[in-house]
Structure formats: C-alpha cells, structure tokens
Amino acid sequence: MSRAFDELKPYLDRAMALNTALVLFEWDNETLAPEQAGSLTGNVIGILSGEYFQAVNNDQVIRLAEACSRENDLTKAEAAQVRELLKEIEKLSHIPREEYQEYARLTAESARVWAAAKNADDFSRFAPVLKEIINWQKKFAGYRAKPGQKKYDVMLEDYEPGFSVERLDEFFDLIRKEIVPLFKSVMESGVEIRDDFLSGSFPDSVQEKIGRFVAEYVGFDFSKGVMAVSAHPFTTNLHNKDVRITTHYTDRLDSSLFSIIHEAGHGLYEFGIRDDLTQTMAGQGASMGMHESQSRFFENIVGRSLSFWKPVYGKLQEAFPENLGQVRLEDFVKAVNKASAGFIRTEADELSYSLHVLVRYELEKELIEGDLSVDALPEAWADKYEQYLGIRPRNVREGVLQDIHWSQGSFGYFPSYALGSAFGAQLYYHMKEEMDFEGLLEAGKISVIREYLREHVHQYGKLKDSRSILKCTTGEDFNPEYYVRYLKEKYQKLYGLSQN
Amino acid sequence: MSRAFDELKPYLDRAMALNTALVLFEWDNETLAPEQAGSLTGNVIGILSGEYFQAVNNDQVIRLAEACSRENDLTKAEAAQVRELLKEIEKLSHIPREEYQEYARLTAESARVWAAAKNADDFSRFAPVLKEIINWQKKFAGYRAKPGQKKYDVMLEDYEPGFSVERLDEFFDLIRKEIVPLFKSVMESGVEIRDDFLSGSFPDSVQEKIGRFVAEYVGFDFSKGVMAVSAHPFTTNLHNKDVRITTHYTDRLDSSLFSIIHEAGHGLYEFGIRDDLTQTMAGQGASMGMHESQSRFFENIVGRSLSFWKPVYGKLQEAFPENLGQVRLEDFVKAVNKASAGFIRTEADELSYSLHVLVRYELEKELIEGDLSVDALPEAWADKYEQYLGIRPRNVREGVLQDIHWSQGSFGYFPSYALGSAFGAQLYYHMKEEMDFEGLLEAGKISVIREYLREHVHQYGKLKDSRSILKCTTGEDFNPEYYVRYLKEKYQKLYGLSQN
C-alpha cells in the first residue's frame, strides 16, 4: 500500500525544480544579464512562475496534501514539507493563475525599473510600477485574508509566522521608547569617533580578495558557494551545495567588508540545512527574521567586535597598508561601530539601524492599511527620517529609492531586519553563558560559534519556527529586552554615557 | 473559429520557457556554479528536462501540431515552427520519458567528470561515463532510425539536415585527397614563420579588455550580450536580446583573441535572428554547420586577414607594447595563420583544422557504426593523428580528452565544423563578387559585411536550411570545391608553394 506522501513526492520535486529555475533567473538578472534582456526573459519567468503555480496548486496535489496531513506515519521532515505545502497552497489557491503570472512578469522587470530610477534619482520613473505592485499585493492579501484579518498581517505572516501588526507594534514601541532617545543621547554626547581612514581609494580587486578571505574565515565554503557583484548585496541558493552571495565595492572599506560578512552569515544558514531537507519545501531558513538574525549576528555581534578582529586585523592592514597601516586595532573597531545619522539603511551602524527599519515599518503600515499614497511617499519618508534620525534626505536616491525590496513586491519584509537583530541579541546572551564567546573569537576559533548555531538553528530549516528555535535554544520565548540591553551596553560604553 | 496554431501557441511557449531555463542552467554550470553543486543541480535539470519532454511530446500537442501541418493559412514563421516541432516530436516520441530524464541527469554531470578527467590527464575516469553516453546515444538513434537508416545518419541529421554519411564521406574524401597532401607540402616547405611573439605573459585583465574591444568591433552588442570565462569557449543564448559568449585566457595571445572573434561570430548570428522568430522553435540558427560557418567566417576569413587588422592592429600593439611593439602588421598576420602540426583542434590553424575534424569524423563513425570500443579510443585517436598530421599525442589531455562535445552527448556535431568552414568559403567567394570585401575591411566598414550576412543568413533562423541559404545567396548548392580553393590559394601563397 503506497503512502500518500510517496505519491506526493514527485509533485513536490517538480515544484522544487521550477522554483530553483526561478531562483537562478533572479540571480542571473541581478548579477549578469545584459541590459536589454529584461522583457524577453520576463516572458520566460512569467511562464515558469505560472508553471510553479500550477505545480503546487492543482486538485491532485491538494488532495494528496490533505491526505498526507491526516497520515500519522510521516517523519518530522515530511510533516514539515506537507505543512509548508499547505501554506503555499493557501497562499496561491486564492489567486487566479493569470493574475499571478501577470504579477510575476511585472516583478521580473520591476527591479530593473527601480535600479534605473534610482540611478537617475527620479522617483516618478518608479512610481507607476510601485503603484501596480502595491495594488497587486493588496489584492492578493485581500484574497487571502481571514475574516477581520488585516492585509498587512497577511503579508507579515509570510515572512515571520507568529508576528502580527499587534505584536510588532509592541516591539517597535519599545524601539521608539528606548532606542530613539538612546540614539539622541549618542548624537548629543559630543564624543567624536575618527573613521576617516575607512574612506578612500580601495581597488575593487583588493577589496574582493580580502572579502573572500573574510567570507572563508567565518566559514563560507567556496566549493559550495560563489560570490559576485550586484547593485544591492543579497544571498540566494539553489540548494545547500550551491549558495550565492553578492557584494558591491565602494570608496568605503567597511561597506563591502561587512556586507560580505552579513551575506556570508545568510550563507552559513543555507549551508547548514540538513541534506534530508534541502531541495524540499522545508529546506529554507525558519523565517526571514531568523535568517536576518544569522546574517546580522555574524556582521555585528561577531564581525564588529574587538575579539573578532584581533587575529585577523593584521591581514586587513596588509591589504591596505596606506589606509590602515597606522590605525590601531582598537580605533578600527571603534570606527566600524561609530553611530551616525545617515540616510542609507545598509550602511547604518547597529544603533541607528533599528530606526531605519522603524521608518519603513510605519510607512508600509500606512501604505497598506492607511491612506498614504505612492505619490506622497517621498515626503512621508523624509518626514520620518527627520523625526527619528534628525536628518532629511534631499534626494530620492538616498531616500525612498534606496532599497530594492518594494520593487520586488516584498512588503512585510523590513520588520524582519529588526526582529533578526533582536533574535540575535537573545541568542548572544544565551551563548555567552554556554561558552567563552569572546575568548573563542580571540583564539580564531569562530568555528565553535558557527557549529553551535548550525546545531541549534541552521540544520532545522523550517522544522521549527523562529519562536520555537529561540525557546529550544535559550529556554525563553522571544524577548526584545535583550536587544535593547545589547544596544544600551554597547553604545553607552562606546560613547561614555551613564548606564541607566 | 480559432486556428489550431493559436491553440498550439501556449504549448510552444511553455516548451520555450523550459528550454530557456535548461540553457541558463547549462551556462551557469560551465561558467560559475560551485564545484560541489553538480549532483543536486543535476536533480533539477533532470526534472526540467522531463518537463520539457512532456511539454513537447504529449497527445494534445501532437494532435494540434498535426492539425497545424494541414492548415494552409500559416505564415512562413508559423509553418517553420510547426515543422521544427514535428521534428522534435519525432525525436522524442520514440524515447521513453524515464530514459530521457535519466540521460539528461547523466549529461548534466558528465561535462564535469570530463573536465576533472582532462585535468587529471586520466582517460579511465571519463571512460565509464562516455560508454554510458554512447550506449544511450546508440539506443536513442536506434529507436528513431527509419528502416535501413544508419544510427550515425540519425545523429548527423540533428545537426546538419541534408548531410548523411554518404554525402559526408564524399566531403571528407575530398579533404583526404586534397588537404592532407597540401598540409604535408606546407610542413615540408622549409618555410619558417616566426610566431614566438604570440607566446608570453599577457595579463588576463588586458586580454579581457582587448577581447571586449575586438568583440564589439566585429559587432557584438554588450547591451544584449555578456562575455565570461569557461574551460572551453562556447556561445549560448536565451533569446536574441541575451547572447552569451565565453573565452579562456592562456599564455598564447591568439588563443583568447580568435576564440572571442569566433564566439562573437556565433553571437552575431543569434543577435541577427528576427524578433518574430526568437523565443520560437524556428528562432535558432539554420544548422550547426551554418552556425559554424558564421563563427569561422569571422574568426578566419575576416579575423585572420591583413585587411581586418590594418585599422585595429595599433590598438593591439598598444595593449601589449612589450610583445608586439616591434612586430610589423604583416608579420603578425603571417604568425596568426602559421600552419603547424598541433594536437589541439581549437588552437589549430585553418589548414590543419580540417584534418582535426577528419580524425573525429572517422572515429565517431567507427564508434557508432563500427566496432571501435571506448577503451581502444585513445590509441585509435593517436594513430589517426599520426596518419594525418604526422604527430602522436603522448597524453590524453592533448589527445582524446581535449573536446567537451562527447561528454555532452554531441555525436555527429564535429563534421559541422568542417562543413561550416566550407559554407563560409562558398559565401566568401560570392561576397567578393558583390562587394569590395578587402576594401571594406581596410576602411573599418566591417558592418557592411555583417549586415550582408544578417540579411542573407542570420535573420531567417530556421526558415531555411543550410543548403537553401547557400542556394538563395550564392545561386549554387553546397559546393566543397570553394573550401579547397580557399585553403590552396591562401596556404600556397603564404608558404610560397607552386600553384596547382
């Protein structure tokens, strides 16, 4: 007698193959595809998206998935796949195939439109596309919303199961209450941290070389991964033996350096997923927030610490002797943690970072649930930067056009960045009890830290959600107070503020 | 009343999309994918190949294709698509889906096995895979062969419709009769052409820069194309707005330089295909031979001529002042045409090139139709090189493992290379009557030559086969005597031999 799951398996494999192809097209689009390819390749992506839609969302698959959910001999991995499949079906079954396909065709090109608009510093070139994307997103969320459920909650649930507007309002209220004043005190402290040596002329080829070294140092395995260049750094993967990160090279050394450590952190998550889960619907990170917790953990908690750089700062000095030869390790580490009121989220220090996300959370809520219009968005954006960071962008390139996310239809994604930082802080304080965290870093034994995370977080893929990973690992449900504590301890010390 | 073709169109689009995905995976495999990705990505490729198989070869598509072939209101482009579809159905319908899928999975990895074996100079690492591939190829050809038809004829027909073993035997007899002795006379002429300045240390980045310049100079449009690095240079495309070439950089300047012109020639063909044909089954080159005619035309007839280099040799000297600063244009052109008995086909001069293909044609015929075993192949290979080129490879890296083709299951492909040269020579003698060929090159007006070929060859895609392209353009069916004439004129002059 054959099990329903065995019957279902070929359908899952088919969906996986189509999805992997879509991932590859997206990677190619962002890193290599020629300028004029967009529209014709968009046809291909539209059709393959429709195929994926059809592969997951058809009567036979739905029947088998429901039969599976009633079976009681499923392994944990199989049960997780069925659960994810049912989620995907729920997501897709409310959306007519033609609409889904049209939307996919739109977003296959919209990132390019965004990039051109950003390049030209011209919001009006992107606005029509953004309006279309938001209309589709609201339409789709409307199809899917349970009675009384907010559309924005539907979107949030896709990225971070278990975190609704209600819960996020609490989280961001805490940020507003604790971090906004902390940031203000830091800005008004009168303490000047030197970081001029981070700017200058750094040849791309040398940046790439040291970037590869650092990626490998934190554990990125180039026999199972590649690194390329794109406008906005990102990580993607075809499976756990093909993980891809990108970076970009600028005249700020820390920009590519820490973006590489960040993306490598995402990459470690993907490498760490168990072989029996990769290429299945349970073979990705638990959630966007948990993914960001790993990238930001490696970028900030590990990568911006004195202990991390002790064994390898010499390498960096060797690569850039003119810029860093005379800069002491302590001064370098202070510089890469310097807080400042800047416009660009991805270049932000850890402290102001949460405020950049706060801005986006509030704007998304107003765009989806309130009455903020796309045309009014650049002004609303500038107003919030003025309110929380005390600065007002004078152009859209540094303002509302800086992030790729909305051009890809990713609404509800941004909160994950702040949640990820908060997850990471919670994991950090627990790990400090389990091991000599700083001592390991100083001894170059970063692998112990990485293996701990692989063991407790990475390997499970979607077998657990973010809250249960936190509970199993730290013994406690999500608790944002750790994040506030982490930022306070770090920045009060760095800026010599009184501890309160 | 809806036309059968309109009903068929979505099925054709679906097949196109799946095929484009497979092309992208292949490109990615050859240029970028990490070492350990092969097996898991092979799963994906296997599934997508099965999907393609199913997309083309199912009752509904077959019914519609047959209905279309009876319709009399098809446009030429539609009729060509239906014809190509019926060919594809004929090809696939005899092969069980599972076998096709298993074969696709094998060939997704086999190029990697070949590369590793070549790298290790160890034929025994590749032999088992090659045996499997040949068994599949023979099996598939056996399924498809009409009564009395040779298996090798089935394979040849896929690459060069209208050229059977019988016709190719005549062609290669002419090569054996005319070119083998010509090559021998050249080798025994006692004339020494200096080419030491082509060897040396040429930084990859400078080779890349001049390579891009030359590619653009012949008309490769980087807004619709990209260039990357791979073990074996090749060209592929997603459609006529996304054309991709690769090269490799060595310590021989002419190696990357002429491989880029060669691949750019393939690329020009793909760019030139009409917009109403791209992304359809008629939107590729007429045949492999016609494709090679264009790449070899640009590489050799154009690219190795004195007239071509007159306007641009200075650029090359500027790029490599130490190597070429003191080398006269005439000596450079002589050097890149120097005939020699070498082991590597892709590095061969035009004269010996045909002999490299002759070897492969005879071996393929014996592997498929005769009783040559894979294990005996390295020796048989070496024997033929001794017979026709007077040299015997001492290792398999320079011998039987040099080409990627067999690892990809491409049997029947090699003859296209020599046919392509012969097509090109026939086009050349005709074009010389139509225009001041050398004068245009000297004036840097290569675009006139390119546009002539776009007009007469490229734009048609598969609307015409190679013989009808030759007939329409030159007024004559395929005539290999032009090729012999071309080689004789060129090499008798270069080596000061008496004209006979």
**Chain segment A251-285, per-residue pLDDT in tens:** 999 999 999 999 999 999 999 999 999 999 999 99
Whether A34 and B242 lie within 8 Å, measured CB to CB: yes
Residues A342, A390: Cα–Cα separation, whole Å: 9
Residues B112, A61: Cα–Cα separation, whole Å: 35
Residue of B9, B14, B20 to mutate, testing the A interface (most A Cβ within 10 Å of its Cβ): B20
Q: How far is CA A486 from CA A396, A423, A457, B144, B262, in A?
A: 32, 11, 21, 70, 60
Q: Which pLDDT score, from 0 to 100, does residue A498 have?
A: 82
Q: Shortest Cα distance from A275 to chain B (angstroms)?
A: 10
pLDDT band at B468 (very low <50, low <70, confident <90, very high): very high
Q: Could you read off the pLDDT of B353-375 as tens digits, one per residue?
A: 999 999 999 999 999 999 999 99
First to last CA, chain B: 66
Residues A127, A374: Cα–Cα separation, whole Å: 7
Q: Could you read off the pLDDT of A326-339 as tens digits, one per residue?
A: 999 999 999 999 99
Residues B190, B497: Cα–Cα separation, whole Å: 11
Is the pLDDT at A243 greater than 70? The verdict is: yes
Whether A48 and B13 lie within 8 Å, measured CB to CB: no
Mean per-residue pLDDT over chain B, rounded: 95
Q: Which residue does chain B place closest to A50, by CA atoms?
A: B14
Annotation: binding site of A for Zn(2+): 262, 266, 292
Query: What average pLDDT score do residues A447-463 get?
Result: 98
Q: Could you read off the pLDDT of A68-103 as tens digits, one per residue?
A: 989 888 999 999 999 999 999 988 888 888 898 899
- Label residue A434 left, alpha or beta by phi (over 0 means left) and psi (-120 to 50 means alpha): alpha
Q: Which pLDDT score, from 0 to 100, does residue A91 have?
A: 87
Q: Could you read off the pLDDT of A171-223 as tens digits, one per residue?
A: 999 999 999 999 999 999 999 999 999 999 999 999 999 999 999 999 999 99
Q: Which residue does chain A place closest to B42, by CA atoms?
A: A17
Chain A residues touching B238 at Cβ < 8 A: 37, 40-41, 44
Any CB–CB contact under 8 A between A83 and chain B?
Answer: no
pLDDT band at A298 (very low <50, low <70, confident <90, very high): very high
Is the pLDDT at B182 greater than 70? The verdict is: yes
Higher per-residue confidence, A403 vs B1: A403
Any CB–CB contact under 8 A between A105 and chain B?
Answer: no
Any CB–CB contact under 8 A between B344 and chain A?
Answer: no
Q: How far is CA B213 from CA A93, A137, B219, B315, in A?
A: 51, 45, 10, 9
Q: Name the DSSP class of A300.
A: I
Whether B40 and A224 lie within 8 Å, measured CB to CB: no
Chain A residues touching B20 at Cβ < 8 A: 41, 44
Instruction: Give residue B242's identity as a one-letter amino acid code.
Output: D
Chain A residues touching B280 at Cβ < 8 A: none
Q: Is A341 helix (H, G, I), strand (E, B) or coil?
A: coil
Is the pLDDT at A2 greater than 70? The verdict is: no
Q: Kindly name the residue from B30, B84, B160, B263 that is annotated as catalytic.
A: B263
Q: Which pLDDT score, from 0 to 100, does residue B231 have?
A: 83
H runs (alpha helix) in A283-413: 288-296, 306-309, 313-319, 321-324, 329-335, 350-368, 377-389
Q: Shortest Cα distance from B46 to chain A (angstroms)?
A: 9
Whether B224 and A35 lie within 8 Å, measured CB to CB: yes
Q: What is the DSSP string of B425-467?
A: HHHHHHHHHHS-HHHHHHTT-HHHHHHHHHHHTGGGTTSS-HH
Cβ count within 10 A of residue A442: 16
Structure tokens at B489: 């004129």
Whether A279 and B40 lie within 8 Å, measured CB to CB: yes
Instruction: Tell me which residue has tokens 């791209």.
Output: B278
Q: Could you read off the pLDDT of A102-161 as tens digits, one per residue?
A: 998 898 889 889 999 999 999 999 999 999 999 999 999 999 999 999 999 999 999 999
Q: Shortest Cα distance from A174 to chain B (angstroms)?
A: 43
Residues B5, B69: Cα–Cα separation, whole Å: 9
Upper half-sphere CA count for residue B188 (Cβ side, 13 Å): 8
Chain A residues touching B51 at Cβ < 8 A: 14, 17-18, 51
Any CB–CB contact under 8 A between A230 and chain B?
Answer: no
Residue of A16, A22, A40 to mutate, testing the B interface (most B Cβ within 10 Å of its Cβ): A40
Q: Could you read off the pLDDT of B284-304 as tens digits, one per residue?
A: 999 999 999 999 999 999 999
Q: Which pLDDT score, from 0 to 100, does residue A165 have?
A: 95
Cβ-proximal residues to B32 (8 Å cutoff; 6+ apart), any chain: A226, A228, B228
Chain B residues touching A241 at Cβ < 8 A: 34, 36-37, 39-40
Q: Which pLDDT score, from 0 to 100, does residue B228 have?
A: 96
Is the pLDDT at B181 greater than 50? The verdict is: yes
Q: Which residue does chain A place closest to B11, by CA atoms?
A: A47
Residues B204, B200: Cα–Cα separation, whole Å: 12
pLDDT band at B109 (very low <50, low <70, confident <90, very high): confident
Any CB–CB contact under 8 A between A23 and chain B?
Answer: no
Whether B14 and A279 lie within 8 Å, measured CB to CB: no
Q: Shortest Cα distance from B14 to chain A (angstroms)?
A: 7
Q: Which residue does chain B place closest to A35, by CA atoms?
A: B223
Q: Which pLDDT score, from 0 to 100, does residue A105 have?
A: 87
Q: Shortest Cα distance from B35 to chain A (angstroms)?
A: 5
Instruction: Give catalytic status of residue A263 as yes or no.
Output: yes
Mean per-residue pLDDT over chain A, rounded: 95
Contact yes or no for B472/B456 (Cβ under 8 A): yes
By DSSP bridging, strand A235-239 and strand A242-247 are antiparallel
First to last CA, chain A: 66
Nearest CA among A322, A348, A364, A342 for reference residue A150: A364
Whether B44 and A21 lie within 8 Å, measured CB to CB: yes
Q: Kindly name the residue from A30, A78, A157, A263 that is annotated as catalytic.
A: A263
pLDDT band at B500 (very low <50, low <70, confident <90, very high): low
Whether B239 and A35 lie within 8 Å, measured CB to CB: no
Is the pLDDT at B499 greater than 80? The verdict is: no
Is the pLDDT at A400 greater than 70? The verdict is: yes
Q: Name the DSSP class of A245.
A: E
Q: For B17, which of A48, A242, A278 is closest by C-beta distance?
A: A48
Q: Which pLDDT score, from 0 to 100, does residue A1 have?
A: 46
Is the pLDDT at B52 greater than 70? The verdict is: yes
Q: Which pLDDT score, from 0 to 100, does residue B1 have?
A: 47
Q: Could you read off the pLDDT of B392-423 as tens digits, one per residue?
A: 999 999 999 999 999 999 999 999 999 999 99
Q: Shortest Cα distance from B413 to chain A (angstroms)?
A: 28
Query: What average pLDDT score do residues B3-21 get?
Result: 95
Whether A34 and B222 lie within 8 Å, measured CB to CB: yes
Residues B227, A122: Cα–Cα separation, whole Å: 31
Is the pLDDT at B2 greater than 80? The verdict is: no
Instruction: Tell me which residue has tokens 């580490």.
Output: A333
Q: Could you read off the pLDDT of A347-372 as tens digits, one per residue?
A: 899 999 999 999 999 999 999 999 99
pLDDT band at B482 (very low <50, low <70, confident <90, very high): very high
Cβ count within 10 A of residue A188: 11
Q: For A241, which of B13, B36, B243 is closest by C-beta distance?
A: B36
Is the pLDDT at A481 greater than 80? The verdict is: yes
